[in-house]
Amino acid sequence: MAMTSESEASTQVLAARNPATGEVIGTVRKTLREDVAGLVQRARQAQVVWSQTSFRDRSAALDRFKLAIARDAEGWARAVRDEIGKPFGEALAEVVSTLDAMRWTIRKGHQALRGTSIGPGHQLALLVPGARQIWRPYGVVGMIGTWNYPLFLNAPTITQAVFAGNGVVWKPSEHAPLLGQKLDEAIAAAGFPDGLVVTVQGEGDVGQALVESPIDKGLFTGGIQNGRHVLTELAKRGIPAIAELSGFDAAIVLPDAPRESAVNALLWAGFVGVGQTCVAVKRVYVVGDPLPWAEALGSRAKELRVGNPASEPVDIGPLISEMARSRFDQTVRRSEAAGARLVTGGRALPGHGWFYAPTVLLADNDEAESVLEGCFGPLMIVRGFATADEALAAANRSQYALAASVWGRDRHEVNRVASRLDAGMVTINDAVTPSALASAPFGGAKASGFGRTRGVLGLREFVYSQTVQSRSPGGFRPHLFPYSDRIIKLLKTYVKWFHGG
Ligand code: NAD
């Protein structure tokens, strides 16, 4: 047997750490980069057969996939708690949202992918036959995932791609390899054809191998920098992609917003998942005096219980890694240097694990805010604006446009502001939770990405439209060589009758 050196062995496995303790809690085998293209080819062979199956058969297999997760819902919540650091209840809510999204596709997906008849309509005189428009799967979808919602961001999209008739090769984040393995076990329980849905494990280099493999569509979820790199690589080969990238969500608080209930909701929307939630509220734009809002958010943030969710009741767990915490801390320092006032937090907490105090900043200049763009941690920056339109203009100035919210009582004003916000998702008097709506499309605009996941639009990302037209064999066709005067006369009459020429 060949000897393996320690460094070679460590390049072959991914170690999973509990971010609340820093301890290694398991390892998984990395997929070799050179094996990825072959796995995609294998998925393609399985997909050719799978694409011929009925929606009923696909639903049955996907139901088994869903059931495998549902039967182990608490096990899933514990696994998310231990590998990502979320409080158990928060992790269980992720499991519930995942199952709901999967169920929507299993039950309603066939309606979204039903073909339609297109009549000749006003073109009757042109003697063009009507058509049927149908949806065809792309082939093999390559998915590159992130770790912050390791189940919710992966299982529903795999479900949609497979329901639409595709094969899937997907890579979980290197920060959630055990959860990737657990999802792989649920995939196995579905009994899909061999090789149809494959999990590859590894870091960015394995992601890169997937991007370079012969996939037919890409789905990337993660940061803007890697996302743009992946999009560029795919674009070079003309491969379409969905990009779910970073957010820096604004909440516009109108003068009549009820402070106590809005602060409660904003606090949760800012600090859920330690602020490592792509749609977490990061910018609180108060129309009027921001100080009472910053103080109220600050004093409530101080009450939040931060700690290891496996050993005590907590509201907030750790950041995902030491590096993520140190990067986040430097961002807070830069904002302070640019003039932001620290209302609360702003420091790493001592001890094992990568904890950070929930942070509220108050600022009155653009730079203190712009240095925070895209930061991923427990932070809200509060700013004041004289009018709703000024707050709106500031919200829309950002390149990020994932989600945004408006808070207030006056329905007319709230709707007016909401209708002018640049964002893929807008909520009124709420934030974050509406992203769990199983039937609603999820995704951003501007630098936050394009394409959608979940709901009808999410499902249709995994198919392309095919127009099928048919004439009877040997039947009449208006255009045939040689061109005749009769056809020219007919076309002239058509212009006159239908277009007034
Ligand atoms: P990341 O960009 O570091 O990594 C995302 C994935 O890309 C990982 O699986 C990683 O291995 C892979 N990757 C890295 N380099 C690659 C390469 N060259 N080729 C192919 N794949 C490569 O992001 P992250 O730290 O995992 O996630 C945090 C970010 O994700 C935050 O910015 C957050 O806002 C964003 N996010 C967005 C959404 C959304 O739906 N819009 C959801 C969750 C998180």
Q: Is the CB of 445 under 6 A from ligand 1?
A: no
Whether 134 maps to a domain, the answer reads yes
Q: Is the CB of 173 under 6 A from ligand 1?
A: yes
Residues 69 and 192 in one domain: yes
Question: For ligand 1, what atom is nearest to the CA of residue 278?
Answer: 34
pLDDT of amino acid 457: 98
Whether 381 maps to a domain, the answer reads yes
Residues 127 and 202 in one domain: yes
Q: Is the CB of 174 under 6 A from ligand 1?
A: yes
Contact residues for 486 (Cβ-Cβ < 8 A; gap 6+): none
Residues 186 and 60 in one domain: yes
Residues 351 and 236 in one domain: no
Residues 232 and 340 in one domain: no
In DSSP notation, 273-315 reads GGG--TT-EEEEEEES--HHHHHHHHHHHHHS-BS-TTTS--S
pLDDT of amino acid 57: 98
Angle between helix 204-212 and helix 224-236 axes, rounded to 10 deg: 20
Q: Is the CB of 230 under 6 A from ligand 1?
A: yes
Q: For residue 487, what are the β-bridge partners?
A: none
Residues 253 and 380 in one domain: yes
| C-alpha of residue 221 to centroid of ligand 1, in Å | 5
Give the residue, out of 31, 84, 146, with the most ligand 1 atoms within 8 A of its beta carbon, to mutate for a pocket test. 146
Radius of gyration of the chain (CA): 26
Whether 307 maps to a domain, the answer reads yes
Residues 210 and 302 in one domain: no
Q: How far is CA 382 from CA 132, 265, 338, in A?
A: 53, 15, 14
Whether 17 maps to a domain, the answer reads yes
pTM of the model: 0.96
Q: Is the CB of 153 under 6 A from ligand 1?
A: yes
Coarse DSSP helix, strand, coil percentages of the chain, rounded to the nearest 5 percent = 45, 20, 35
Residues 221 and 146 in one domain: yes
Residues 263 and 229 in one domain: no
Number of structural domains in the chain: 2
| C-alpha of residue 261 to centroid of ligand 1, in Å | 33
The distance of Cα 237 from the centroid of its chain, to the nearest Å, equals: 23
Whether 136 maps to a domain, the answer reads yes
pLDDT of amino acid 33: 97
**In terms of residue numbers, what domain contains 57?**
6-245+454-463
Residues 397 and 258 in one domain: yes
Quickly count: other Cβ atoms within 10 Å of residue 223's Cβ: 14
Whether 471 maps to a domain, the answer reads no
Please give the Cα distance from 166 to 159 (Å, whole number).
10
Question: For ligand 1, what atom is nearest to the CA of residue 174?
Answer: 11
CATH code of residue 145: 3.40.605.10
Whether 154 maps to a domain, the answer reads yes
Within 13 Å, how many C-alpha atoms sit on residue 79's CB side? 23
Whether 443 maps to a domain, the answer reads no
CATH code of residue 276: 3.40.309.10
Question: For ligand 1, what atom is nearest to the CA of residue 374?
Answer: 32
Residues 13 and 152 in one domain: yes
Residues 230 and 84 in one domain: yes
| C-alpha of residue 226 to centroid of ligand 1, in Å | 7
pLDDT of amino acid 479: 78
In tens digits, what is the pLDDT along the chain, a chain of 501 residues? 344 455 555 579 999 999 999 999 999 999 999 999 999 999 999 999 999 999 999 999 999 999 999 999 999 999 999 999 999 999 999 999 999 999 999 999 999 999 999 987 777 666 778 899 999 999 999 999 999 999 999 999 999 999 999 999 999 999 999 999 999 999 999 999 999 999 999 999 999 999 999 999 999 999 999 999 999 999 999 999 999 999 999 999 999 999 999 999 999 999 999 999 999 999 999 999 999 999 999 999 999 999 999 999 999 999 999 999 999 999 999 999 999 999 999 999 998 999 999 999 999 999 999 999 989 999 999 999 999 999 999 999 999 999 999 999 999 999 999 999 999 999 999 999 999 999 999 999 999 999 999 999 999 999 999 999 988 888 878 777 888 898 889 889 888 988 886
pLDDT of amino acid 89: 98
Q: Is the CB of 223 under 6 A from ligand 1?
A: yes
Helix (H, G, I), strand (E, B) or coil at 47: helix
CA nearest ligand 1 atom 36, residue: 222
